[in-house]
């Protein structure tokens, strides 16, 4: 039996491809540069001290003053290198050069000695430093070292994200061109090793990347399976299974980081459904059916909600979980009494029962006959009608079971 290579359209996938943005791009809002200014002699706050913030990687200057508590705060761009100069009447100026920001600005506290109250410019401070003046004390040196370490760490993480995002983009391009092997390579590189990554930073990349990786594995697996049937090639069938298994792993990771996405559960469901139905991986039936049930829960379109319920019942049926299959199909019939797939599903699920007790098995076969009969009555022109007719004949001839009205 062949099955469709695409149940998620290229247009739908394009939504995934265009939705991701680098955290750095989302984090360009200014961050508050905060600190305090106090007298070195008695640690009393200095109100009205001038705070000159110079951006030194490019030309820029920001100004503010301290409040009654000697505190100051000013929003500055997250990127860049800054020198902060503090001055107040009756005090010697203070400064801190080489401040580089990461996700959070360092706190800057100044203790000013008595002095002439001068307000040096950035050029005067730079000349003073170049001439060997203003050597750092141990506390200032430690603060600068920590600031530089934080900046380096943040930059390294951003560089890694940018590198992974580039691999994601390459995978997206290959996926839209139906170059599935290349897409798999690139998407895998984009999300590998991120199982325990920070969701706030990598969550979207993993969620979207894992979803696209799973979809690409699914498409290639379907293509290989269909080829294996046509060519009777066992190696291609094995390769198809491997791709579906890898797709299942990718979508499980995606769900970990994006647990409420309808399309994510739909991809998990259809991937595991094929593994159960075509490769006998019945241990995956529960997870596959639950994926479709969750997709139904979050789906807003009533028709699609029912379709997902039918697919959940199908996975239970493929896994020989008769009771759960029947109860799920009955949920479908409660919402749509004319749903042919639900009548068909109940009939086939009951026909495949593994019940060993003769009386109970006969009762289950009776249920099969009841629902298959309704299907046959409603299924004019349905491709499954011939199969159902044959099953009803077997039940009548071999088991002497005739359909009864469904209560």
pLDDT per residue as tens digits for the range 306-316: 999 999 999 99
Total residues belonging to the chain: 407
* Residue 180 within any structural domain of the chain: yes
> How far apart, in whole angstroms, are the C-alpha atoms of residue 368 and residue 406?
11
Question: 252 and 162 in one domain?
Answer: yes
Question: 35 and 11 in one domain?
Answer: no
* Residue 147 within any structural domain of the chain: no
Contacts of 88 (CB under 8 A, 6+ apart): 37, 46, 48, 49, 50, 112, 117
Task: Specify the pLDDT at position 141.
Answer: 62
Contact 207, 257 (CB under 8 A): yes
Contact 256, 266 (CB under 8 A): no
Question: 9 and 51 in one domain?
Answer: no
> For residue 19, what are the CA distances in angstroms to 125, 145, 150, 195, 379?
46, 37, 29, 21, 42
Question: Nearest to residue 82, comparing CAs of 111, 112, 59?
Answer: 59
Question: Nearest to residue 318, comparing CAs of 5, 1, 6?
Answer: 1
Q: Which residue has the higher pLDDT, 128 or 116?
A: 116
Question: 110 and 68 in one domain?
Answer: yes
Kindly state the DSSP code that residue 5 receives in the 8-state scheme: S
Last residue of a domain, one of 99, 123, 147: 123
Which structural domain, as residue segments, surrounds residue 374? 320-407
Last residue of a domain, one of 97, 123, 149: 123
Question: 76 and 6 in one domain?
Answer: no
Task: Specify the pLDDT at position 52.
Answer: 96
Q: What is the mean pLDDT of residues 355-361?
A: 91
Q: What is the mean pLDDT of residues 100-127?
A: 84
Task: Specify the pLDDT at position 201.
Answer: 86
* CATH code at position 384: 1.25.40
**Taking CA 194 as the corner, what is the angle to CA 190 and CA 198, rounded to the nearest 5 degrees?**
115
Question: 404 and 377 in one domain?
Answer: yes
Task: Provide the number of structural domains found in the chain.
Answer: 3
Of 23-37, 49-63, 152-166, 386-400, least confident by mean pLDDT is: 23-37
* Structure token pair of residue 248: 């299942």
Question: 226 and 247 in one domain?
Answer: yes
Question: Nearest to residue 139, comparing CAs of 108, 114, 115?
Answer: 108
Q: Which residue has the higher pLDDT, 146 or 195?
A: 195
* Residue 371 within any structural domain of the chain: yes
Question: 90 and 35 in one domain?
Answer: yes
Q: Which residue has the higher pLDDT, 98 or 209?
A: 209
Mean pLDDT taken over the chain: 87
Q: What three-state secondary structure class fits 72?
A: strand
Of 41-50, 67-76, 147-156, least confident by mean pLDDT is: 147-156
Q: Which residue has the higher pLDDT, 368 or 2?
A: 368
Best mean pLDDT range from 105-109, 215-219, 260-264 = 215-219
Question: 12 and 57 in one domain?
Answer: no
* Residue 110 within any structural domain of the chain: yes
> How far apart, in whole angstroms, are the C-alpha atoms of residue 22 and residue 311?
36
Instruction: Say whether pLDDT at 159 is over 90.
Output: no
Chain CA centroid to CA 252, Å: 10
Task: Specify the pLDDT at position 17.
Answer: 53
Best mean pLDDT range from 25-29, 74-78, 178-182 = 178-182
Instruction: Say whether pLDDT at 227 is over 90.
Output: yes
Q: What is the mean pLDDT of residues 269-285?
A: 96
> For residue 257, what are the CA distances in angstroms to 102, 205, 252, 260, 296?
24, 9, 9, 9, 19
Contact 183, 216 (CB under 8 A): yes
Task: Specify the pLDDT at position 99.
Answer: 85
* Residue 152 within any structural domain of the chain: no
* Structure token pair of residue 134: 């203003």
* CATH code at position 113: 2.60.40.1120
Contacts of 237 (CB under 8 A, 6+ apart): 224, 225, 228
pLDDT tens column, 5-29: 323 233 344 445 545 555 544 445 6
> How far apart, in whole angstroms, are the C-alpha atoms of residue 20 and residue 266?
20
How much is the pTM? 0.71
* Residue 305 within any structural domain of the chain: no
Question: Nearest to residue 180, comparing CAs of 247, 233, 131, 126?
Answer: 247
Of 5-19, 170-184, 348-362, least confident by mean pLDDT is: 5-19
Question: 383 and 347 in one domain?
Answer: yes
Q: 232: pLDDT confidence band, cut at 50, 70 and 90? A: very high
* Residue 281 within any structural domain of the chain: no
Question: 163 and 105 in one domain?
Answer: no
Burial tier of 329 (Cβ tally within 10 Å: 0-12, 13-18, 19+): buried
* Residue 6 within any structural domain of the chain: yes
Question: 235 and 175 in one domain?
Answer: yes
Last residue of a domain, one of 123, 145, 170: 123
């Amino acid at each position: 039996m062949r099955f469709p290579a695409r149940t998620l359209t290229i247009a739908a996938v394009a939504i995934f491809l265009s939705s991701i943005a680098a955290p750095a791009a989302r984090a360009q809002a200014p961050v508050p540069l905060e600190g305090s200014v106090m007298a070195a002699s008695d640690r009393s706050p200095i109100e009205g001290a001038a705070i000159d913030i110079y951006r030194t990687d490019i030309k820029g200057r920001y100004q503010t003053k301290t409040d009654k508590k000697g505190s100051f705060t000013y929003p500055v761009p997250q990127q860049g290198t800054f020198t902060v100069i503090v001055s107040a009447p009756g005090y010697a100026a203070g400064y801190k050069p080489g401040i580089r920001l990461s996700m959070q600005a360092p706190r800057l506290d100044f203790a000013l000695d008595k002095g002439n109250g001068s307000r040096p410019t950035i050029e005067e401070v730079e000349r003073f430093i170049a001439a060997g003046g203003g050597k750092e004390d141990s506390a200032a040196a430690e603060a600068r070292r920590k600031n530089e370490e934080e900046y380096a760490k943040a930059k390294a993480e951003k560089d890694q994200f940018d590198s992974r995002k580039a691999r994601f983009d390459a995978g997206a391009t290959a996926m839209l061109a139906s170059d599935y092997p290349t897409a798999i390579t690139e998407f895998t590189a984009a999300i590998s090793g991120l199982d325990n990554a920070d969701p706030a930073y990598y969550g979207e990349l993993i969620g979207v990347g894992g979803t696209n990786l799973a979809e690409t594995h699914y498409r290639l697996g379907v293509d290989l399976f269909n080829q294996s049937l046509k060519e009777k090639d066992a190696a291609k069938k094995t390769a198809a299974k491997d791709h579906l298994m890898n797709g299942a792993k990718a979508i499980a990771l995606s769900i970990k980081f994006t647990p409420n996405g309808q399309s994510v559960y739909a991809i998990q469901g259809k991937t595991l459904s094929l593994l159960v139905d075509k490769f006998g991986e019945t241990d995956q039936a529960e997870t596959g059916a639950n994926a479709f049930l969750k997709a139904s829960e979050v789906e807003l379109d009533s028709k699609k909600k029912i379709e997902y319920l039918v697919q959940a019942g199908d996975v239970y049926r493929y896994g020989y979980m008769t009771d759960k299959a029947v109860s799920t199909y009955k949920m479908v019939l409660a919402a749509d009494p004319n749903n042919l797939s639900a009548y068909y599903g109940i009939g086939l699920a009951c026909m495949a029962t593994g019940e060993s007790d003769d009386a109970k098995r006969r009762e289950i076969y009776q249920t099969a006959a009841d629902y298959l009969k309704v299907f046959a009555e409603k299924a004019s022109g349905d491709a499954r009608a011939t199969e159902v007719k044959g099953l009803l004949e077997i039940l009548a001839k071999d088991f002497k079971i005739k359909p009864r009205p469904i209560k």
